[in-house]
Structures are given as C-alpha cells and as structure tokens.
Amino acid sequence: MIVHALTGCMLTGRGCGPVAWFALLLVAVFVIVGVGLAAWRTARSERGAVTRSLLDAALVMWIVFLLVGTMSPAAPTSTDILNLVPFNYFVRSLELGGVDLRNALFDIVANVAVFVPLGLLVGWRFERPALLEWTVEIACLMIAIEVAQAYVLRRSGDVTDVITNTVGAVVGLVVGRAIARWRGRDHDPQSDTLSVPRIG
C-alpha cells in the first residue's frame, strides 16, 4: 500500500520504488490538467489563465494524493478500531521514548503538514469558503474518512487525525489567503468560490 511505502521510505529510506511511481503519476496529473486548463483559458482570453490553471492543477493533484493516502485499504484487522481519545498514542510514547516517541511525533507532524497544501491552494485560489466554514467542512470530512477507515476499510480511525488534519488545512487556508492578498488576485473574486451548494 502506498501509505505504508511512503512512511517506510521517509523513516528508513527503504521501499521507495512505489513512492517514486506514485510521484510520477501525480506529476502527470498536474501536467495534463495544468496544460489543458491553461490552453483552454488562454484561448478564451481569460485574465491570469496560466496562474489559475497551475493552481487548479496543483489542487487536483493534491486531492488525488490525499484520496489515495486516506482511502486506500490496508490488511484487514480482527476488530474495527476507532480511537476517540485525542493524542493517546503520543501520551503513551512519552513514557516509552525512543522509536515510539519518534514515530508518534512524526505521525502528528505529517498529519498536519499533509493538509497544509490543500488549505493553501484553496485559500490562494478562492475567496470562499470563510475560515469558520472551512474549519467545519474539513472537520466533518475528516470524521467521515476516519469512520470509513475503521469500519469500511478495516484501518484504524483516530480522532487525533481529525484534529491534526483540520489544523493543517486551516493553517494552509490562512497562509493561502495571505499569499493571495500579497500578490493580488488576478481574477474576479465573485466568480471563484468554493463552498457547499445551498439547496432551496
């Protein structure tokens, strides 16, 4: 599974072959989507066509990465595991130290960092959603993913992942909005929104 291969590659430097192939797949997605959108928008004489297309391509690429990472199945476990105690593994690792503490710290940092690009790209590319709306949406999405991991994919679901992933996405959104203000948006903010459709 690509998640185990990525973790093993980062921690030990071994088993990096599948990671390299997956990276090539992501690059291919980025190039195809980016070039296709840029050509289409340039033909339509849209302002900021290349920048917007690159941001959209990066967003699609990162969503593919996150979907594979969070929703790929693992070897079945004997019981469904859904941990509802935040940071319990980290607290236990403080007593154990050594490799356990290193792995716990790596898990927290990685779960925050992996969602920062998603928030950054959304914040840079779109005026919406608002920060509170984004926080609620990401938290709800992560709860759904963790429940699915525990009871559908037979992986372990953890409330710690919900917290750390949400923090990463929120930090990314704040940074993305700061970049957008610094560079100035090259499109009409009223035309680019990313929010849950309203019914009625």
Break the chain into its structural domains and give their ranges.
1-72, 78-200
Q: Which pLDDT value is given to residue 94? A: 82
Q: Which residues contact 101 (CB under 8 A, 6 or more apart)?
A: 93, 94
Alpha-carbon torsion (65, 145, 72, 102), positive or negative: positive
Closest CA to 107 of 121, 96, 93, 127: 93
Q: Which pLDDT value is given to residue 97? A: 75
Q: Which pLDDT value is given to residue 196? A: 42
Q: Which pLDDT value is given to residue 170? A: 98
Q: Which pLDDT value is given to residue 53? A: 96
Q: Which pLDDT value is given to residue 7? A: 57
Q: Which pLDDT value is given to residue 40? A: 96
Segments of the chain scoring below 70 in pLDDT = 1-15, 74-80, 185-200
DSSP E strands, 120-196: 156-158
Q: CA–CA separation, 136 vs 149, rounded Å?
A: 20
Distances in whole angstroms, Cα of residue 17 to Cα of each of 8, 68, 127: 11, 16, 39
- Please tell me the pTM assigned to this model: 0.81
